[in-house]
């Protein structure tokens, strides 16, 4: 969680200066609990696919920090060699198969990974991250139907942050219908939870993971959460009027990291000094990643091996 | 009466005008009523025309396209907007199987489908593979669709109004890099006929056929060649990609004997290719040298600043190509210098990230 | 019902001879009750859209018989001038806006008609016919979501005949999930019924129509029924093995027309002679439609006013 | 060893061979295991390879395409089949935004997408506007996709096997009117390289470039012209529409100086147009007369028997065009007579209704 938070905030702090991160960047500040919890509950050989807002999912799953920052800088050492940018992350060594920028685009891909697991008869699972708006796409529905039909080892994790860009849920989905109950109607076991509570999220995800690994078919989890910064870009945008300052402040009070910190301090799992050390260490790693990214080479359009293979 | 405004203000003005004239015009799309108003193009519309006629929508591109078709069959004129063309790929089923075919498949007996679909083509600041696809050539391949692609603010207004009141489905393409282009735009119900190209520059040496943002690069190149080297080119801005104004193109090619076509999309099966093909067929005897097309390499758009540098073509590339066609040497260094170091923005107004 | 049955059977009887109906033709023999009932429950100015299997819906709504047969013959006097064939029927004079051949293709079109009704503030309703397989398309889901979101005056009628071509439901949808309950999960009131019982169908449709006309938003009806003949074409196909002879015979026993006939005879609404007369009259009308279609002129590809308007 | 078989049997044979060789090959699509087995092409596969590897699917074209992509990223080689190309328009989102872009958008670091998508192009017996669209030109426009389109049974087998084992997404097009074409087909793991055209006839007068079913019509025309009039044409069957075997085409055009391109799709922005364009660019100096393309009129497919008569082009039209290019008069009546009265079926084997 700390890594994710500090990383996002470091991007935000540096985005304007120097203008070296020249790609659309969707930060997940405020939403760190679920990605972190999922990363803990999943095995390294489990698959993950994700969305435009993927930094947390990537880091949570153990994706290489240096390669992610380099990718955002458009460098050759980036996880996608500079071809993808913030919205196209990959680290197959830890099962992070890919994040893409079309809403709901990776949902069937994740289900297809689930199908491949079934065909290969391993005990992996495939985890699909999605936003609340992604549930409005027909392909989401088609994907859930097939996962249920074939009892595939797929975990759907929907982070419901109330908005699609600046559009609140109520202009997109019937107000008296929850996403969870809708998915239950599709025949998929579905549960919701507090996405700002890291421990609750972890427990719910772990339970789902266990059930799926035991061959009981897909599970859908909906977590309520909130994005602090603007939809795309490094700034805050409460002033533009699509959400209220009060709503924002209320959610900020539910900061998942602070809550977790209080909890583990109270439970004496950790002490203040250890936390400070952890924070300093994490920030140092991140600062180093930025330094490496800045120094790294740019890729060259002409030295791609695959170019002109097709349409040659 | 006319008024100085940007391309996006002109789009906004056209939408407001259309909604004022005809209460059957409605306007929806993701983010249409939000504070950013789709790059300013839809600002204020919901306030002026109410929530019934101007609304946001679920992330359901295919369904919402079919819904536009259905509404249009009962006399509504929906204008649907997508912040990127790429998102509309989810709706190809309804667009092709229904909208494009509808008039024909009922022998004209089930009404027209007067829908207008605004698609914004992204470029720059790392838009990457799925936020910059320019598939006008796809749309222009399909009978039953009209495809409109304005370059200037004035054309944007005049053509959008005509598109909305046209009885066929119209794909209305807006290049993101044009949104800040400023010009005098007539007030009120100002329409321009669909299907007519516009002659932006006049000359006898080369016929340059261009579209959308590439026409801006072409103007820089052609003006430079005229000023510095006394080379004079016709510059034909297509404006309409289906139908194409063939007579204007053929007349020019028959005059100059040299054809250069610029395209914002991939080279293979590009609109530029179609123009080269038809000119090769129709103006065979007039051609003085092989026709040339300049389009994007056949490869998805990369994201990195460093990778897009060699992906897109600029004024200097156009100048170079024209020189080659005329078999002359030209110093293009000053033309190259005209552009700042950041090739991935059209100007300072474009700040990313979207 | 009689008109629909006799019409379908007359097509079947003539399809092979002379080979003059040269287009894919999907007969609805066995499924006549719902189309007939819907036609009765709807007003003439209500809208209907339909599918590849549209003859019943068209005739039920009051579509012109002669123009339909002429269309199947590919004649100029056909309802679509010969351009459309069996799968593309239209009769706007009775609100039949169109049937098309892409599964689920007209579902959003029907919802769009519902939107237009709401915008124009009339008390019409828009009725969408669909098959069981159409509920598997994402666009169905997107359409229902929007209809519910905006409380549109849309009646969805799903004729569940257990098959999509030769594919039984169980290879396409989870076995323990009914279409009705799934649609309820989407937030749309949904009811199922016996689609071979004309009276039950009529009552359920009428109730839904009334509710929708009163502004209560969309309703979804699922009717169980069965197609007797092959998916596409005039023949029977039980022998090819995708369904059993027993299943077919069991459904044939539930013939909607015979059941209705028995019922109205028993209730003394009609007597045997009147039925015979009705039958003879109906068949005569149909025979005449075939004669007219056969004699009618073919259209000419070159005399279309719209051709070359686009791509000119 | 080889064996006489139809095009559909050859497809079936290729599928069985691929599944035998590699247990990662799976095969699904609407109706794949049903008693008709997609025009016979998938008969017996489920019995041989089981329900896990061969299965029917829900009517969810877009979702099932994304699922193929996902499975392929973990080493599976899915072959997905659609009884009509038109149905696949529902899946353009997954095809373009994901399959075509995948390799590039992760800089090659997220694996390949070795999926094969079989699409059948309908024609005849009133298939009409949404059961006969031939959109190979769309697919060929998009970088990252391969597009294969065999004409003969032998090619069908050899190219399908290569498509399945190719690491890029491949669109494999089968024209419904070719399914009954019979020929000797090698047994076992017989593969033909993708991207190579095949020279079906040889001659110096005209270069005829063709594809899919149009190559059959071309053979009739070209053989007739050779027998009766001593006119000799090169006939190049593309086989691969992306990539296109340009060298073979250019060599022929440089030899004959006359180019005729036949296409099964709409004229504007057709593959035929692309070939005309590239030849006009690359073989400018060799061209003796204006290039010609023959494709479908830019209008959706009508349904009526009477309307399709003037919609599709036949051998006699090809003969006429060649005569015109050579500026000679030829009696084509016998060629016209070769075809029976029913222009809307390829032969007696095709009985409709689907
Ligand atoms: C098909 C498609 N439509 C629209 C967009 C534009 N878009 C990008 S992100 C986004 C919001 C998605 O909201 P949600 O799924 O809730 O995720 P969140 O941004 O809240 O994390 C939209 C509409 C897109 N990328 N793809
Ligand atoms: C998008 C699409 N996929 C596949 C087909 C082929 N197809 C035609 S009818 C049909 C079956 C549809 O089944 P259902 O909706 O249950 O209607 P029924 O035929 O049973 O009346 C299919 C799959 C099609 N026309 N469109
Ligand atoms: Mg959200
Ligand atoms: Mg059915």
Could you read off the pLDDT tens digit of each residue along chain A, which spans 312 residues? 999 999 999 999 999 998 999 999 999 999 999 999 999 999 999 999 999 999 999 999 999 999 999 999 999 999 999 999 999 999 999 999 999 999 999 999 999 999 999 999 999 999 999 999 999 999 999 999 999 999 999 999 999 999 999 999 999 999 999 999 999 999 999 999 999 999 999 999 999 999 999 999 999 999 999 999 999 999 999 999 999 999 999 999 999 999 999 999 999 999 999 999 999 999 999 999 999 999 999 999 987 655 544 443
Can you give the pLDDT at residue C312?
Answer: 39
| B15 and B149 together in one domain | yes
Q: Do both B79 and B226 map to the same domain?
A: no
Residue D281: inside a domain: yes
Residue C311: is its pLDDT beyond 50? no
Query: Based on the domain organization, do B79 and B141 belong to the same domain?
Result: yes
Determine the Cα–Cα distance for residues C221 and D339; give it in Å rounded to an integer. Answer: 50
Residue D192 belongs to some domain of the structure:
no
pLDDT above 80: residue C15: yes
Establish whether residue C222 lines the binding site of ligand 2, counting it when its CB lies within 6 angstroms of any ligand atom. no
Let me know whether B80 and B131 are in one domain. yes
Q: Nearest residue on chain C to D269, judged by CA atoms?
A: C311
- Whether residue D335 is contained in a domain is answered as yes
**Is A310 among the domain residues?**
no
**Residue A309: inside a domain, yes or no?**
no
* CB of D108 less than 8 A from some CB of B: no
User: Would residue C72 count as lying in a domain?
Assistant: yes
Q: In the predicted model, what is the mean pLDDT of chain D?
A: 97
| For range D169-179, the mean pLDDT | 98
> Is residue A249 assigned to a domain?
yes
Query: Which of B67, B115, B168, B242 has the highest number of chain C CBs within 10 A, making it the mutation to test binding with C?
Result: B67
Distance B339 CA to ligand 1 centre (A): 33
Do A95 and A45 form a contact (C-beta atoms < 8 A)?
yes
Give the model's pLDDT for residue B351: 84
- B contact set with C (CB within 8 A): 24, 26, 52-53, 57-58, 60, 62-76, 93-94, 97-98, 102-111, 140, 143-146, 168, 195, 242-243
Does a structural domain hold residue A302? no
Neighbouring C-beta atoms of residue C281, cutoff 10 Å? 12
**Is residue D319 domain-resident?**
yes
Is the domain of B171 the same as that of B290?
no
CA distance C82 to C80: 5
C window 119-158, beta carbon within 8 A of D = 133-134, 136-139
Closest alpha carbon to A136 in C19, B100, C148: C148
Q: Across chain C, what does the average pLDDT equal?
A: 96
Instruction: Indicate the pLDDT class of residue D351, thresholds 50, 70 and 90.
Output: confident
B66-84 pLDDT, tens digit each: 999 999 999 999 999 999 9
Residues B40 and B137 in one domain: yes
Supply the range of the domain harboring residue A286. 2-296
User: Is the CB of residue C198 less than 8 Å from the CB of residue C37?
Assistant: yes
Instruction: Dump strand ranges (E) for chain C.
Output: 47-50, 96-99, 126-131, 154-160, 163-164, 167-168, 190-194, 219-224
- Domain boundary (B186, B216, B250) is at B186
Q: For position B12, which CATH number holds?
A: 3.40.50.970
Structure tokens that stand for B222 in this block: 């052609």
pLDDT at B354: 80
- Among chain C residues, the shortest Cα distance to A149 is held by C174
% residues pLDDT > 70 (chain D): 100
Say yes or no to pLDDT of C6 above 60. Answer: yes
Residue C310, pLDDT > 50, answer no
Domain-located, residue A305: no
Chain mean position to CA B124: 16
Asked if the structure places residue D351 within a domain, the reply is no
The two three-digit tokens of residue B144, written as one number = 């039953």
Q: Mean per-residue pLDDT for C51-80?
A: 98
Query: What is the structure's pLDDT at A310?
Result: 42
Q: For the beta carbon of residue C288, count every other beta carbon within 10 angstroms.
A: 13
Do both B324 and B211 map to the same domain? yes
The pLDDT of residue D354 = 80
pLDDT attached to residue A304: 65
Boundary residue ending a domain (D162, D186, D210)? D186
Structure confidence by residue, pLDDT tens digits, C179-199: 999 999 999 999 999 999 999
CA–CA separation, D207 and D250 (whole Å): 10
Q: What confidence tens digit (pLDDT) does each residue in C154-175 have?
A: 999 999 999 999 999 999 999 9
| Whether residues D220 and D73 fall in one domain | no
Domain assignment of residue C311, yes or no: no
Q: DSSP letters of D258-315?
A: -EEEEEEEESTT-HHHHHHHHHHHHSGGG-SS--EEEEE-SSPPP-SHHHHTTTS--H
Active-site residue set of B: 61, 131
DSSP-derived secondary structure letter, A299: P
With CA atoms as reference, report the closest residue to A139 among A106, A180, A113, A167: A106
Residue B37 domain boundaries: 2-186
Q: Are D304 and D326 found together in one domain?
A: yes
**Catalytic residue status for D131:** yes
Q: Are A31 and A226 in contact (CB under 8 A)?
A: yes
Of the candidates B137, B158, B186, which is a domain's last residue? B186
D136 is catalytic: no
Q: Show Cβ contacts of residue D337 under 8 Å, excluding neighbours closer than 6 positions.
A: none
Band (pLDDT 50/70/90 cuts) for residue C307 is low
C-alpha C164/C-alpha B103 separation (Å) is 28
Number of CB atoms found within 10 A of residue D311's CB: 17
Contact check, Cβ <8 Å, B306/A298: yes
How confident is the model at residue B105, as a pLDDT?
96
Verify that D148 and D242 share a domain, yes or no.
no
Q: D134 CA distance to ligand 1 centroid (A)?
A: 32
The candidate with the shortest Cα–Cα distance to D164, out of D182, D146, D152, D187, is: D146
- pLDDT band, residue C110 (cuts 50/70/90): very high
Quick check: B338 pLDDT over 90?
A: no
Rounded-to-integer distance, Cα B259 and Cα B208, Å? 6
Which atom number of ligand 2 is nearest to the Cα of residue C161?
20
Q: Give a yes or no: residue B123 inside a domain.
A: yes
Tell me: do D206 and D260 sit in the same domain: yes
How many domains are contained in chain C? 1
Residue A152 lies in a domain: yes
The answer as to whether B191 is a domain residue is no
Residue A285 sits in a domain of what CATH number? 3.40.50.970
pLDDT score of C306: 54
Residue whose structure tokens are 């209080």: A262
Domain count, chain D: 2
Confidence of residue B348 (pLDDT cuts 50, 70, 90): confident
Q: Is residue B226 in a domain?
A: yes
Q: What is the mean pLDDT of residues B246-265?
A: 98
Same domain, D169 and D204: no
Kindly report the length of chain A. Answer: 312
Predicted local confidence at residue A311, as pLDDT: 42
């Amino acid at each position: 969680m700390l890594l994710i938070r500090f990383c996002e905030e470091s991007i935000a702090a540096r985005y304007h200066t120097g203008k070296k991160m020249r790609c659309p960047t969707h930060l997940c500040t405020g939403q760190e609990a679920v990605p972190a919890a999922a990363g803990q509950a999943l095995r390294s050989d489990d698959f993950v696919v994700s969305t435009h807002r993927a930094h947390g999912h990537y880091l949570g799953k153990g994706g290489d920090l240096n390669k992610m920052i380099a990718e955002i800088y458009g460098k050759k050492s980036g996880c996608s060699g500079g071809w993808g940018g913030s919205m196209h992350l990959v680290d197959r060594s830890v099962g992070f198969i890919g994040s893409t920028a079309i809403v709901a685009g990776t949902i069937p891909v994740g289900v297809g990974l689930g199908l491949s697991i079934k065909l290969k008869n391993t005990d992996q699972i495939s985890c699909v991250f999605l936003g609340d708006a992604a549930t409005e796409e027909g392909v989401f529905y088609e994907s859930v139907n097939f996962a249920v039909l074939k009892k595939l080892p797929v975990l759907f994790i929907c982070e419901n942050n109330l908005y699609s860009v600046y559009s609140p849920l109520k202009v997109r989905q019937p107000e008296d219908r929850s996403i969870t109950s809708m998915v239950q109607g599709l025949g998929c076991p579905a549960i919701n939870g507090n996405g700002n509570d890291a421990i609750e999220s972890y427990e719910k995800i772990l339970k789902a993971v266990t059930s799926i690994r035991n061959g009981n078919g897909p599970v859908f989890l909906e977590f309520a959460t909130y994005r602090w910064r603007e939809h795309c870009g490094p700034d805050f945008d409460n002033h533009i009027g699509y959400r209220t300052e009060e709503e924002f402040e209320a959610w900020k009070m539910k900061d998942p990291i602070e809550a977790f910190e209080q909890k583990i301090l109270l439970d004496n799992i950790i002490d203040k000094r250890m936390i400070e050390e952890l924070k300093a260490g994490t920030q140092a790693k991140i600062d180093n990643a930025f330094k490496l990214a800045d120094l790294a080479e740019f890729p060259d359009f002409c030295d791609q091996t695959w170019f002109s293979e097709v349409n040659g | 009466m006319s008024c100085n405004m940007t391309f996006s203000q002109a789009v906004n003005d056209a939408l407001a005008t259309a909604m004022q004239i005809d209460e059957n015009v409605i306007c929806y799309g993701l983010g249409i009523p939000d504070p950013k108003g789709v790059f300013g193009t839809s600002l204020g519309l919901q306030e002026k025309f109410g929530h019934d006629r101007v609304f946001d929508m679920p992330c359901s591109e295919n369904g919402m396209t079919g819904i536009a078709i259905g509404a249009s069959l009962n006399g509504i004129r929906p204008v649907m907007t997508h912040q990127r063309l790429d998102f509309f790929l989810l709706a190809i089923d309804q667009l092709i199987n229904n909208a494009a075919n509808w008039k024909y498949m009922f022998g004209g007996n089930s009404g027209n489908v007067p829908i207008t679909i605004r698609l914004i083509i992204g470029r720059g600041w790392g838009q990457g593979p799925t936020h910059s696809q320019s598939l006008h050539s796809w749309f222009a391949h399909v009978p039953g669709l009209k495809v409109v692609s304005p370059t200037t603010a004035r054309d944007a207004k005049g053509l959008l109004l005509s598109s909305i009141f046209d009885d066929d489905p119209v794909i209305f393409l807006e290049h993101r890099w044009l949104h800040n282009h400023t010009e005098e735009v007539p007030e009120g119900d100002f329409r321009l006929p669909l299907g007519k190209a516009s002659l932006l520059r006049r000359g006898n040496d080369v016929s340059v056929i261009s579209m959308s943002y590439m026409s801006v690069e072409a103007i820089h190149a052609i003006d430079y060649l005229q000023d510095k080297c006394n080379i004079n080119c016709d510059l034909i801005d297509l404006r309409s990609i289906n139908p194409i104004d063939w007579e204007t193109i053929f007349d020019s090619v028959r005059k100059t004997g040299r054809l250069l076509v610029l395209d914002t999309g991939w080279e293979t099966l590009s609109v530029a290719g179609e123009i080269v093909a038809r000119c090769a067929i129709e103006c065979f005897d007039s051609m003085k040298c092989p026709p040339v097309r300049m389009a994007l390499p056949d490869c998805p758009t990369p994201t990195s600043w460093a990778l897009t540098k060699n992906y897109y073509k600029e004024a200097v590339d156009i100048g170079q190509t024209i020189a080659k066609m005329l078999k002359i040497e030209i110093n293009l260094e000053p033309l190259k210098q005209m552009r700042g170091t950041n090739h991935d923005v059209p100007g300072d107004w474009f700040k990313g990230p979207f």
